[in-house]
Structure 1
Amino acid sequence: MTTNSNTVVPTWTWSEERLQTIMNRARAGRSLKPAAWPDGARCAVALSFDSDHDTFELRDGGRSISALSQGQFGPRQGIPRIRELLSREAIPATFFVPAVSAIHYPDEQRALIAEGHEIGLHGWIHERNTLLDEDTERDLQFRAADTLEKITKVRPVGIRTPSWDFSENTLQITADMGLLYDSSLMADVDCYELLLNGAPCGVTELPVEWIRDDAAYLIMDRWGGLRPQIAPHDILQIFKREFDAAYEERGIFQLTMHPDIIGHRSRIWLLKELVAHIRTRKDVWFATHADIVRHVRASCA
C-alpha cells in the first residue's frame, strides 16, 4: 500500500514489526525492588511537588492574567506552607521545576536545596514533548538542566516530563544526558529498569500514577467544565490506602503534588493528615526520589 505524508494508515493494518518498534521505544525492564530499605525500614516514602507556577499558562501564550495569577499562588502561598510542613516533620522531598519557574523564583530553589530537598528537571516552560521535534526537545531539556544547575549550583540527576508527556525521543535524550532516573511513567509501583529499543539504557524509572496525584482530583478547568468532584477527606482515604498497601508490600509510596493545588488552606490539611498517618509506622524511610533510586540501584546491581 502506497501512502503519502498526509495519509493516515489504520493502526490495525500495522505489521507486528512496527507494533514492536513502537512498544519498545521506552519499556519497563527488570524490577528494581530492593530486598531491604535503609536502617531496617519496611517502606520508602517519596513525596514530590511539581512547581509549575506561572508556566502552565505561559506555555500556551500567557494570555490569561487570571490563570497567571493562579500560578503565582504556588510560590506565594503553597511553597511556604509546604516548606514549613516538611521542615517541622524533617522530611526531604523532591521538587520538579520548569526552568522558567526557576528563573522567575531563583531564591525559592536555592532555599529548597539548602533545606536538603532535591530539585529535578520538569521541562523548560512546561512544554508538551509529543508536540516537539527531536532537536527542539533535546535543546530544551539540556538548556533546562544547565539553568537549574546555574541557579542552584547542583546539577539535576532526575526528570519528570511536563504533564508526564513522554515522546518517542524522550528516553534517548534522557539517557544521553546521563540522568539517573525518570519519574513520568506508570508501568509498576516499584522502581524498574528502563529499556530503550529493547535494551537497558542506564535510566531507572521511579513510577508515578494519576491515583497518587492531587491534580487528578482537585484541578479545575473553568472553560472545559471540569470541576473537582472529590472532597479532600475522600482523597486522603485514597492516599492512605495507597500508603498502607505499599507498607504491606515493603515497597514505595510515591506521591505527586502541586504547590498551587495542595498549598491551599483546606488542602494542605490533607498532606498534614497523611504525614501523621504515615508517622504511626515507625519503620518508614522518607527520602528524595534521587536517594531512593540510588539505593535500589545499589541493592539490585
Structure 2
Amino acid sequence: MEPWQWPEEVWRERVGKVRAGRSLKPAAWKDGRRCAVALSFDSDHETNELRDGGRSIGRMSQGEYGSRVGVPRILDLLGRTGVPATFFVPAVSALLHPDEQRRVVAEGHEIGLHGWIHELNTAVPAEAERDLHFRAADTLERITGVRPVGMRTPSWDFSDATLQIERELGLLYDSSLMADDDPYEIVEAGEPTGMVELPVEWIRDDAVYFNMNRFQALRPYTDPETVLSIFRREFDRAHAEGGLFLLTMHPHVITYRSRFFILEELISHIQAKGDAWFATHADIARFALEAG
C-alpha cells in the first residue's frame, strides 16, 4: 500500500517505535551552573570512504588528515582551555589509529561508539547491525581500557533495531536523535527505557556547512565567520534557557587553519560567561538522569 492508504495502526506503529519521553533538563546543572556544554568530535577518518566500498586515495588522505593533524590540534586546544569532550569513533578508525584513542582517554576525554566502519544502520540486517555494534564496543574497550557507555549512530542513521541493541549493550545514553534541544528519556513503543537522549541537530554540525564532493553536486560552503555566529547564537539561547548546548564536529572538517578559530573563539565566548559547565556526554547524561 501507498502511505496514504495505510490504516491508522500502521502509521501509529511507525511513529511510536522510538519517541521522546520525559524531559531530563535539570533545574540547575552541576554546581549550580547555568547551562551544560557538550563538545563532540566524530573521528570518522578513513571510514568516510571505506564504508561505501570506496578506493579513493584522495578521500582517504582527507580522512588521514583528521588523525594526523585534526585530533592533535583539537586535543592541544582542549588541554590549554581545560575543556573535556567526547570523541565518537568507528571501530575501524580506532584500529587504524589506536594511539590516538589512548591519548584521548589519557587526557580525560570520553570515547563513544560510532559503528564499526561508519556503516548506515538501516543498510544492514538487524542481526548484522547487532554484531557490528558489539564488536565495536569490544574493540574500543580493548584499545582504550574503557568500555563505551554511549553511542552516536554513524550519520545519525537509526534503524528499527538500533535502540534494542543499545539497550542490550547496557548503554547510558544515545546521541543521534533530534526530538528536543535538551536531554530527554527515550521511549520505545510507549515504554520508558531509562536511556538518556542527548539530542543532535544538523544546525549544530560543522560538516553541513563545509563538506563537498568533487564528483557530485554537493558544494555547500558557508563563510567560517557565519558558522561561528550560528554556533554562538545556539549557545547563547541554550544559556538563556538554562539548557544544553551540544555541538558535533569532525576532525577532518573543523581543524583547517582558516576554520579552527571557530572552535577557539567559541570556547572563549562560552568560558567568558563564567557559569557554563563543560562536560563529557557521559557526565551530562548521568547528571541529567540523576537530577530527573
State TM-score, norm by structure 1: 0.96
Tell me the residue number matched to 2:169: 177
The CA RMSD measured in Å over matched residues stands at 0.7
Give the letter for the 2:172 counterpart: L
Kindly provide the CA deviation profile for residues 159-204 of structure 1, in whole angstroms up to 9, marking residues without a partner as x. 0000000011101111111100000000000000101111012211
Does residue 194 of the first structure (1) align with residue 186 of the second (2)?
Answer: yes
Report how far residue 143 of structure 1 moved: 0.5
Q: What aligned pairs does 1:1-301 form with structure 2 within 5 A after superposition?
A: 9-300=1-292
Structure 1 ranges of 4+ moved more than 3 A = none
Task: State how far apart, in whole Å, the 1-side matches of 2:236 and 2:70 are.
Answer: 26
Task: State how far apart, in whole Å, the 1-side matches of 2:102 and 2:17 are.
Answer: 35
CA contact (8 A) 2:235 2:245 kept: yes
Aligned residues: 292
Report how far residue 225 of structure 1 moved: 2.0
My pick for the range that moved more, 154-163 or 34-43, is: 34-43
CA contact (8 A) 2:25 2:184 kept: yes
Q: Secondary structure of 2:213's partner?
A: coil
CA contact (8 A) 1:175 1:202 kept: no
Report how far residue 36 of structure 1 moved: 1.0
Report how far residue 119 of structure 1 moved: 0.2
Kindly provide the CA deviation profile for residues 112-152 of structure 1, in whole angstroms up to 9, marking residues without a partner as x. 10100000000000000011111000000011000000000
Task: State how far apart, in whole Å, the 2-side matches of 1:119 and 1:143 are.
Answer: 15
Give the letter for the 2:273 counterpart: R
Give the letter for the 2:134 counterpart: F
Report how far residue 23 of structure 1 moved: 0.9
Task: State how far apart, in whole Å, the 2-side matches of 1:254 and 1:127 are.
Answer: 23
Give the letter for the 1:101 counterpart: S
Q: Secondary structure of 2:76's partner?
A: helix
Task: State how far apart, in whole Å, the 1-side matches of 2:240 and 2:100 are.
Answer: 36
Report how far residue 228 of structure 1 moved: 3.1
Consecutive unaligned residues in structure 2, runs of 5 or more? none
Q: Secondary structure of 1:280's partner?
A: helix
